[in-house]
Amino acid sequence: MRIQPFDYWAAPGLNEALNELDLHGADATVIAGGTDLVLNMKKKNILPRRVISLHNLNELDFVLTDESLDNDSVRIGALSKHADLAENPFLKQHFPILCEAVGLIGSWQIRNVGTIGGNICNASPAADSAPPLLVLDAQLVLASKKGEKKISLESFFTGPGATVLEPDQILKEIVIELPKQPSAGCYMKLRRRKAVDVSLAGVAFQAETGPDRKTLAKVGIALGGVAPTPVRVPEAEALLAGRTLDEAVTKISDCAEIAAKAASPIDDVRATASYRRTIINVFIQRCAQNVLNTLKNSGGD
C-alpha cells in the first residue's frame, strides 16, 4: 500500500497557505489531519501531484465566542480536532449535539488527528459533523487570497465528495449562532462496528423553544448517509415547528414517517435501502422524544 510520490509543502501560516493556493491551487491538494486523504492516496482514489499541508496552522485550531448586540455566536476553527471538540466545555453546554456527533467519529486514534474542516470538506454524504451543523444553521467562512466569504453549510455540498470550494479557497472557520432560548439536540448514527466504521445513516434533531418555553420556535432535522449529500428535511421540520411541546409529542411518528420518505438511501453491501429507511424512522422518533423531554424538563416552569 505505497503512496505515489508527490511534492509537499507545509504552510507555516494561513497567509502563506493562501498565497501558495493562489499560485498553485489548481494542481494542489490541501491536507489537514489526512485521515481521509491518506487513506484515499493509499487506495489510489486520489493521486495528488502536490500536497499543501495545513497541519501547522495552529491559528485555525480554536473555539471562540463572539459577543455582539443581537446575536452571540461561536466560531470553530477548521483545524480543530474531533477529540478536542467532543470535550470542549462551551460546546458541550450550548451544542451538545455537535459534541455527541464528533465524539462518535471513527476511533480515539482518528479523533486525535481528524479535523472538523476535513470532515466537512471531504463532503462524504455520511460525514458525522454535517447533520448537526446543518440543524444548527452553521455558516462557513471560506478564505482565499482575494478575501473571505461566508456561506451557509447547506449551500456548500453539491454531491458526494463535491463542494462549492474553489481551488484557491480553504475552509477557515465554522460559525454558529448561540440559541437565545432553551434548546436541545440529539444525534444518532447506525454503523456496523461500534467504532471505526463510517455511518450507514445518521439523524440529527435540534429544537429551540420560543420565549414562552412551551412552543417550538425552531426545529431542525437533518439526515446523513441516505442521499448524495447530508440533507435537511424541511417538510418534517414544518410539521413540528410552531406547536407546543405537548402537541409536538403526538406528531412524532408522522414526522418520522415524512423524514424517512424524504430520504433517498441506496442498497449496498453494508445495508439495504429499506433497512436504512426504517432506521431513519426509528432514530427520528427516539431523537425527537429525547429532545422534547429535555425541553419540557428544562423549560415549561
Partner 1 sequence: MLVPINIIVNGEEYHLKVKPNQILLDVLREDLGLTGSKQGCGLGKCGACTVLLNGKPVHSCLILAPYADGKEIVTIEGIAGEEPHPLQTAFAEKGAVQCGFCTPGMINAAKALLDDNPEPSEAEIKLAIAGNLCRCTGYNQIVSAIQSCAPSNSDIQTEKRGKSNE
Ligand X SMILES: Cc1cc2nc3c(=O)[nH]c(=O)nc-3n(C[C@H](O)[C@H](O)[C@H](O)COP(=O)(O)OP(=O)(O)OC[C@H]3O[C@@H](n4cnc5c(N)ncnc54)[C@H](O)[C@@H]3O)c2cc1C
* Coil vs helix vs strand at 249: helix
CA distance linking residue 191 with residue 227, whole number of Å: 16
| C-alpha cell at position 190 | 447506525
Q: Return the residue of 14, 46, 63, 110 that touches partner 1, per CB under 8 A.
A: 110
Choose from partner 1, ligand X, none: what does 284 bind? Cβ within 5-8 Å by kind.
Answer: none
| C-alpha cell at position 86 | 467532543
The H-assigned helical ranges of the chain are 14-24, 37-42, 82-87, 89-94, 96-103, 108-111, 116-121, 130-135, 234-240, 245-250, 252-262, 273-298
Asked if 16 is part of the footprint of partner 1 (rule: CB under 8 A), the reply reads: no
Sort 224 into a burial class: Cβ within 10 Å, 0-12 / 13-18 / 19+.
buried
- Which 81-120 residues touch ligand X, going by CB under 6 A? 105-106, 110, 113-115, 117-119
Which range, of 47-55, 131-139, 212-220, 282-290, touches partner 1 by CB under 8 A?
Answer: 47-55
Q: Return the residue of 25, 33, 132, 299 that touches ligand X, per CB under 6 A.
A: 33
Count of all residues that appear for the chain in the document: 301
Distances (CA, A) of 278 to 71, 117, 171, 185, 275: 38, 31, 35, 21, 5
- Cβ proximity to partner 1: between 50 and 243 the closer is 50
- Cβ proximity to partner 1: between 107 and 298 the closer is 107
Asked if 55 is part of the footprint of partner 1 (rule: CB under 8 A), the reply reads: yes
Asked if 83 is part of the footprint of partner 1 (rule: CB under 8 A), the reply reads: yes
Q: Return the residue of 171, 233, 262, 263 that touches ligand X, per CB under 6 A.
A: 171
Q: How far is the CB of 7 from partner 1 (least distance, A)?
A: 6
Binding string, residues 35-74; x marks residues near ligand X by CB under 6 A = xxx-x--------------x--------------------
CA distance linking residue 197 with residue 83, whole number of Å: 17
- Cβ proximity to partner 1: between 46 and 217 the closer is 46
Q: What share of the chain is helix, strand, coil (3-state, %, to 5)?
A: 35, 25, 35
- Cβ proximity to ligand X: between 113 and 217 the closer is 113
Sort 131 into a burial class: Cβ within 10 Å, 0-12 / 13-18 / 19+.
buried
Asked if 247 is part of the footprint of partner 1 (rule: CB under 8 A), the reply reads: no
C-alpha of 106 from chain center? 14
Asked if 144 is part of the footprint of ligand X (rule: CB under 6 A), the reply reads: no
Which range, of 2-10, 57-65, 260-268, 277-285, touches partner 1 by CB under 8 A?
Answer: 2-10
Choose from ligand X, partner 1, none: what does 109 bind? Cβ within 5-8 Å by kind.
Answer: partner 1
Q: How far is the CB of 35 from ligand X (least distance, A)?
A: 3
CA distance linking residue 25 with residue 167, whole number of Å: 5
Sheet of 170-177, strand order: 63-66, 73-77, 170-177, 139-144, 147-152
Interface contacts to ligand X, rule CB under 6 A: 29-37, 39, 54, 78, 105-106, 110, 113-115, 117-119, 121-122, 127-128, 165, 170-171, 196, 198-199
Interface contacts to partner 1, rule CB under 8 A: 1-8, 10, 31, 34-35, 38-39, 41-42, 51, 53, 55, 83, 106-110, 112-113, 194-196
